[in-house]
Structure 1
Amino acid sequence: MSREILEKIFYKALKKVQADSIIKDNISLKGKSLKIVDKEIDLNKIGSLYIFGVGKAAYAMAKECENILKNEIKGGVIVSTTTGELNYLKHFKSTHPEVTTKSLEAANLLFDEVAKMNENDYFIFLLSGGASAMIEKPIEDLSLEDFIKASSSLLTSGIDIKALNTIRKSISQIKGGKLANKIKANGQVLVLSDVIGDDLNTIGSAPMNNGEFEHYLIGNNSIALNEAKNYCEQLVEKVEIVTTTLDSSSLEAAKFIAEIIKKYDKKYSSFALLFGGETTTTVKSKGGFGGRNQELALRLLLEDILEKELSILCAGSDGIDGKSDATGAFIDFDIIKKIEEKKLDAKEFLEKSDSNTFFKSLGYDFVTGLTGTNVMDFVIVLKKGE
């Protein structure tokens, strides 16, 4: 039952930041009056309306834009990892998290398409997490092969997303506002944040952030967790969003979360604790399966905090956790008995960076499939009480 409740809390948070919700909340059309966040655009006074987008949520966001704007859209291109076609826009399926030749093709396509706009045209650019890998054009002295090697090494190094994207921008012709430099038209950038602190210089490696175009933050971890908090208030005595900026190694994060749980356990018979952010992990074995969320769940398991009424879900909002088909994992009191029955050693799986194999074998992995959004990760701690 606790697992079902954890899933409900997760999906409440997720729905608030999915494409249909955030686009409907921020784009509307009445006659020829287009409203984007707080800005009114008279379509009679512009040339053509274009829509561009890159990221894990780009396809779903574009789909909702098409539902609202229909044939007012005169062109544009969307880059994502989703399979599907759009009615008014070109859609290019790229790759993530690895940079590949597809990433280069996507970047070249974007450069070509934005160059078609004139000064009196207007655009909406949809930016979400994952864009860094999906579009790429290395600096002239760097081959794509060497760029891919560098990117792959960075992804498994354990460095945080901010440092990762800073390095990416320095060796790219598209990141750090360089795509925006090619645009003559006016427009706005709608941003779904997947980084700590919602830093516009970091999200998607900031392809449009050259100081010329206004960026609007329309979805983030905080918005999602506040929705989860509202739902949890009817379930337990105390609900707390502890942080939306969890930013440390999975080892440090597990110790921090464990201490918070102990503190609340002494004061309340039932509670829900919500954590958001993104931990880091160093891949110790290329043969293992899993990612930072499942590793965090495994480390929390080793913190010896589980009791009968306590359950935890660590999960990514995008539906993917590292090298696995899961987005996270559950832990609860009953898992201890199952580990003993199967004679599994959690520490051994941790050393092999093989958290997914561990949880999958116990039936505790959490699989959602691609969610069409990305606002970092959620850790949901629930103590229901007797």
Structure 2
Amino acid sequence: MSSRSDIIKIYEAAVRACLPEEAVFEHLHEYAGALKSASRVVVVAIGKAAGSMAKGALRFCEEHSVVVETTFVVVPHGSEIGLGESAGLSIFYAGHPIPDENSVQAARTVLAFVQGLREEDVVLFLISGGGSALFELPVPEMSLPELQSWYAELIASGRSIHEVNALRRSRSLVKGGRLARSTQAGVIQLLLSDVPGDDPAVIASGPGYAPELSRNSTRIIGSAAVALRVAAEEARRLGYRALPVSASLQGDAAYVGETLAALCSQMESLGIDGPIALLATGETTVHVTGTGRGGRNMHLALAAAIRLAGGSQAITIASLGTDGRDGPTDAAGAIVDATTTALMQRQGWDARQALADCDSYPALDAADALYRRGYTGTNVNDLIVSVISHD
């Protein structure tokens, strides 16, 4: 089998392990009593994995005779959530990574609804990555165009997700626990983490996280650590010596890509017993300097491809978003090797210029290096796989 196909198998195994429907279902057993005794139960699912999370919650409630009065689901445009149509279900398809009118409408609608709940009620927040843009109600002095421009600036700034979401919380009426504080109802919050460190205040900018409230309970039900563990297991099953490097990889995407490529080249030249799979999860950053199209995973992969160019063809490096989408594109990321930049050049692309212009998507597409598979239904950060094959 090829290194590319092995990487895809490793990635898909990690994604399957982080699908949240079953995780939500299992964790709700802890709250069965509170749900059954509540006067009204409301489900609010926000994020790229909101459809799967809502499905798990609704299945649990149906099997345990819990009546859900209303369900709100907020997902990116183009998502397939598989919930069908039912009474009390409201679905908002909203903007990501830039909020749009639907993002604001979703936040305004949910906020108004939970403000009407009472102490004997329970609201179940199911939060996953992407929620910052999908669910947003800015402070009154900020218009939607101003909010969109500001979000674009934050994304292009190269700041870490912790820094970006701290700023987002400062200009929002629903982030930073404000949604949870707006209701008298008891709050049960299940989080699928896509941020290094799994801080509930950072995941989707923490709309439901108000730890000072005794009626607020929060649980992390999935994270990058699970993806990393299963990726290692799958790599070993495929015959690789799996070496997990980090569960919280951060830093400049181009630097990380170049460094991984250099490390793999050094390991390969030393003749270290293989085949080897270096594995990491995390979230790198890109300081956008051009007007091109791409995402942090493609940027990382392109930088790695430049470093690998003309070298050993035993090395293949991939950087892939576990949500199936890297930035505002239809690809999860890219899989590159020592031939990638030469293939780009044959199609008229200069790899270094594409990197400088942050135009990784079309350049990698020209080399047939992108991996497209659609939304996965989960989101637990990015998975970076570097393999050294000794076929």
Of 35, 39, 47 in structure 2, the residue corresponding to residue 47 of structure 1 is 39
Partner of 1:363: 368
1:198 is paired with a residue whose SS is coil
How many residue pairs end up in the alignment? 376
Asked if the contact 1:19/1:57 (under 8 Å) is kept, the reply is yes
Change (3 A) 1:107 1:239: same
- Retained in 1: the 8 A contact 2:305–2:338? no
Cα drift, residue 237 of structure 1: 4.8
Counterpart of 2:190 in structure 1: which amino acid? L
Match of 1:143 in 2: 143
> Which residue is 1:57 aligned to?
49
* TM-score for the superposition, normalised by structure 1: 0.91
| Contact 1:23 1:64 (8 Å CA) reproduced | yes
Alpha-carbon offset, residue 341 of structure 1: 4.1
1:176 aligned partner, one-letter code:
G
- Residues in 2 aligned to 1:293 and 1:317: alpha-carbon distance in whole angstroms: 11
Identity across the alignment (%): 29
Looking at structure 1, the residues matched to 315 and 187 of structure 2 have their Cα atoms a distance apart, in angstroms, of 48
**Aligned twin of 2:301:** 297
Deviates more, 1:240-249 or 1:15-24: 15-24
Partner of 2:44, secondary structure, is: strand
Which residue identity lines up with residue 152 of structure 1 in the other structure? A
Deviations 1:2-56 (A, max 9, x none): 21111110000001111334224423xxxxxxx14xx441655321222111111
Q: 1:334 to 1:24 in 2, by over 3 A?
A: farther
Per-residue CA deviation, residues 139-197 of structure 1 (Å, 9 max, x unaligned), is 23333332222222112222121111111111111111111111111131100111111
Q: Which aligned pairs between 1:1-386 and structure 2 lie closer than 5 A?
A: 1-27=2-28, 35-36=29-30, 39-41=31-33, 43-70=35-62, 72-81=67-76, 82=79, 85-87=84-86, 88-211=88-211, 212=213, 213-262=216-265, 264-265=267-268, 266=270, 267-286=272-291, 288-304=292-308, 306-335=311-340, 338-339=343-344, 341-342=346-347, 344-386=349-391
1:94-153, Cα deviation, whole Å (9 max, x unpaired)? 211112222211111111221232211223210011111112222233333322222221
Q: Deviations over 1:49-81 (max 9, x none)?
A: 221111111122112322332362222312112
Unaligned 5+ residue runs, structure 2? none
Give 4+ residue runs of structure 1 displaced > 6 Å after superposition: none
Residue 24 to residue 229, structure 1, CA distance change in 2 (3 Å): farther
Letter of the aligned partner of 1:101 in structure 2? E
Residue 32 (structure 1) aligns with: none
CA separation in 1, counterparts of 2:75 and 2:20? 13
- Range with bigger deviation, 340-349 or 109-118: 340-349
Structure 1 CA distance for aligned equivalents of residues 377 and 363 of structure 2: 27
Give yes or no for contact 1:294–1:328 (8 Å, CA) kept in 2.
yes
Check the 8 A contact 2:364/2:370 in 1, yes or no: yes
1 CA distance for matches of 2:73 and 2:46? 6
The one-letter code sitting in structure 2 at the alignment partner of 1:54 is I
Inter-partner Cα distance in structure 2 for 1:214 and 1:142:
32
Q: Once the 2 structures are TM-superposed, how far is the Cα of residue 313 of structure 1 from its aligned partner?
A: 1.4
How far apart are the structure 1 equivalents of 2:350 and 2:220? 43
Cα distance change of structure 1 residues 168 and 237 upon mapping to structure 2, 3 Å threshold:
closer
> Which range moves more in the overlay, 163-172 or 68-77?
68-77
What secondary structure does 1:76 align onto? strand
* Corresponding residue SS for 1:196: coil
> Helix, strand or coil: the match of 1:233?
helix
Q: What is the rounded CA distance, in whole Å, between the counterparts of 1:192 and 1:156 in structure 2?
A: 25
The verdict on how the C-alpha distance between 1:3 and 1:171 changes in structure 2, with shifts beyond 3 A counting, is same
CA–CA separation in structure 1 for the residues paired with 2:381 and 2:341: 28
Return the offset for 1:226.
Answer: 0.5
- Where does the alignment leave 5 or more consecutive residues of structure 1 unmatched? 28-34
- SS of 1:52's partner is strand
User: For residue 104 of structure 1, what is the amino acid of its counterpart?
Assistant: V
Is the 1:13–1:225 Cα contact (8 Å) retained in structure 2? yes
